[in-house]
Amino acid sequence: MSKVILVTGSSRGIGAKTAIRLAADGYDICVNYSHDAIAAENVVREVQSRGRSALAVQADVSKERDVQSLFTKIDESFDGLYGLVNNAGILFRQMRVEEMTAERINAVLTTNVTGYFLCAREAIKRMSKNRGGMGGVIVNVSSAAARTGSAGEYVDYAASKGAIDTMTIGLANEVAVEGIRVNGVRPGFIYTDMHRDGGEPGRVDRLKDCLPMKRGGTTEEVAAAIAWLVSEESSYTTGSFIEVAGGR
Ligand code: NAP
């Protein structure tokens, strides 16, 4: 039986590369996106060219109704759900905390924290052995920012990732006996569009020399860590984190 993985925010960046990598590893993929339908369809084609099934579903993970309809579409289109990669995340223009509005802070927290919780909730309902499921895996894409705090850039974003690290530990303990493993990856400076959203497209190149490895990371390198945590190779690993951050 094919194993289906939902990768949230997989039209671009780390999520897109993860969807393609997981397809190469033999999984069918639900490609979730927020706005960019053309990019999502490109990822669907990449998955299909590797011989796997794929479906693109628009859903804003910060909205409960969207998340419910996303999982209903998965129920209708695939035979069960094996895994969730919680990846859809946002940040806004770099600024100090004293400049931040409640609207901005709430937008970051609802997408990066509430969105991960809502998707985990729906995935657990389908995967838990206590509910007739087969077990499964959840990988939460956190950030090295959870450790560093992102002073002067986006402390709101860093705090959202700290929340995800705590959620990963608690949820891993909560569902371990139900056959679900929950782990996290903490990427560092990775070449994606996200830095443009922070107002500094060249941020990785500005900061890379402060890293022990003196270079930014690639989306493929993050996808490889996620793929290991999804795979049976990590079958005794839960509540753990992989740093993909060039040694920082
Ligand atoms: P990205 O290139 O900006 O891509 C973001 C993806 O998330 C896009 O597919 C976007 O969809 C989707 N998305 C955004 N908001 C969404 C929402 N509300 N609902 C559903 N999908 C949504 O970002 P990235 O750099 O690949 O980041 C992916 C994850 O890695 C994030 O959790 C981020 O915090 C984390 N991370 C990134 C870095 C880095 O250096 N890049 C470092 C550490 C951690 P559309 O295409 O439709 O807009």
Q: Which atom of ligand 1 is nearest to the CA of 142?
A: 44
Domain 4-244, what architecture?
3-Layer(aba) Sandwich (3.40)
Residue located via tokens 């995935």: 123
Q: What is the pLDDT of residues 90-137, one digit of tens each?
A: 999 999 999 999 999 999 999 999 999 999 999 999 999 999 999 999
Measured in Å, residue 130 CA sits from the centre of ligand 1 at 32
| Tokens found for residue 35 | 């706005």
With the most atoms of ligand 1 within 8 angstroms of its CB, the residue from 192, 193, 205, 242 to mutate is 192
Q: What is the pLDDT of residues 193-202, one digit of tens each?
A: 999 999 999 9
Q: What is the pLDDT of residues 140-159, one digit of tens each?
A: 999 999 999 999 999 999 99
> How far, CA to CA in Å, does 184 sit from each of 6, 54, 64?
15, 24, 23
Active-site hit among 27, 116, 154, 157: 157
| pLDDT score recorded for residue 146 | 98
Q: Judge contact between 224 and 21, C-beta under 8 A.
A: yes
Domain residues of the chain, as ranges?
4-244
Residue located via tokens 């090295």: 144
Q: What is the pLDDT of residues 200-217, one digit of tens each?
A: 999 999 999 999 999 999
Q: What is the largest CA-CA distance in the chain?
A: 53
State percent of the chain over pLDDT 90.
Answer: 99
Query: Bridge-partner residues for 137, per DSSP?
Result: 83, 181
pTM for the structure as a whole = 0.98
User: Average pLDDT, whole number, for the chain?
Assistant: 98
| pLDDT score recorded for residue 1 | 73
| pLDDT above 90 (res 10) | yes
With the most atoms of ligand 1 within 8 angstroms of its CB, the residue from 194, 208, 244 to mutate is 194
Per the annotation, the verdict on 157 as an active-site residue is yes
> Where does the pLDDT of residue 218 fall: very low under 50, low under 70, confident under 90, or very high at 90 and above?
very high
Nearest CA owner, ligand 1 atom 19? 60
